[in-house]
Amino acid sequence: MDISRVSIDDLVGRQVMVHMHTQAFSDLNIQGFQAPRFRAVILGMDNLGLWIEHPEYRIMPVYDDKGEYIPPGERKETVHRAAILLMWNTIKTIVFFPDQEAVLPTEDVPVIGFSHVREREREIEEQREQAESGGKIEDTAEEPPKRGRKSKK
């Protein structure tokens, strides 16, 4: 690739190092992001910002497909590939290495974070094992109302 002619369009589908503004990073608190500087694959861009891939975004559904509430003990965490929009004003800089397929920095720059996710995975697995072995997991949360349209009274 001719480095003298790099444009943002050349980065789509490539891994880059993104450095966000520190305050924006703190305010956003996006799952899996450990530091304001991280590696990510660019999926696209538009007038709002840069779309990046989060390969293991985890959610814990509270309602099923029918809109029925799922009690805490019956919820199952799911993992999805997600696209995350970083608004242009949150990005300090983007570093692109045109001669490399992946970013291989000399210092430790995290991929969109997995350490917090792995810790949470272990906690969930411990809770499941405890529940399966007859241990009781206390849940003090009240059941929220069902989603849907409110009836007129």
Q: Single out the residue of 89, 94, 83, 84 nearest to residue 11, CA to CA.
A: 94
CB 72 within 8 A of CB 153: no
> Taking 90 as the threshold, does the pLDDT of residue 101 lie above it?
no
Of 87-96, 98-107, 137-146, give the lowest mean pLDDT range. Answer: 137-146
In Å, what is the CA distance from 9 to each residue of 12, 45, 100, 141? 6, 8, 17, 48
The number of residues in the chain equals: 153
Burial of 27 (0-12, 13-18, 19+ CB in 10 A): exposed
Confidence tier at 153 by pLDDT (50, 70, 90): very low
Q: What is the pLDDT of residue 121?
A: 63
Highest-confidence segment of 4-8, 74-78, 99-103: 74-78
What is the distance, to the nearest Å, from the Cα of residue 119 to the centroid of all Cα atoms in its chain? 15
Q: Single out the residue of 19, 5, 81 nearest to residue 50, CA to CA.
A: 19
Q: Taking residues 103-121, what's their average pLDDT?
A: 52
> Taking 50 as the threshold, does the pLDDT of residue 107 lie above it?
no
Share of the chain above pLDDT 90, in %: 25
Q: What is the pLDDT of residue 140?
A: 45
- Domain positions in the chain are 8-132
CB 15 within 8 A of CB 103: yes
- Number of other CB atoms surrounding residue 35 within 10 Å: 13
Identity (one letter) of the amino acid at 115? S
Q: Taking residues 25-50, what's their average pLDDT?
A: 88
CB 91 within 8 A of CB 45: no
Q: What is the pLDDT of residue 109?
A: 47
Of 15-24, 55-64, 102-111, give the lowest mean pLDDT range. Answer: 102-111
- Number of other CB atoms surrounding residue 135 within 10 Å: 10
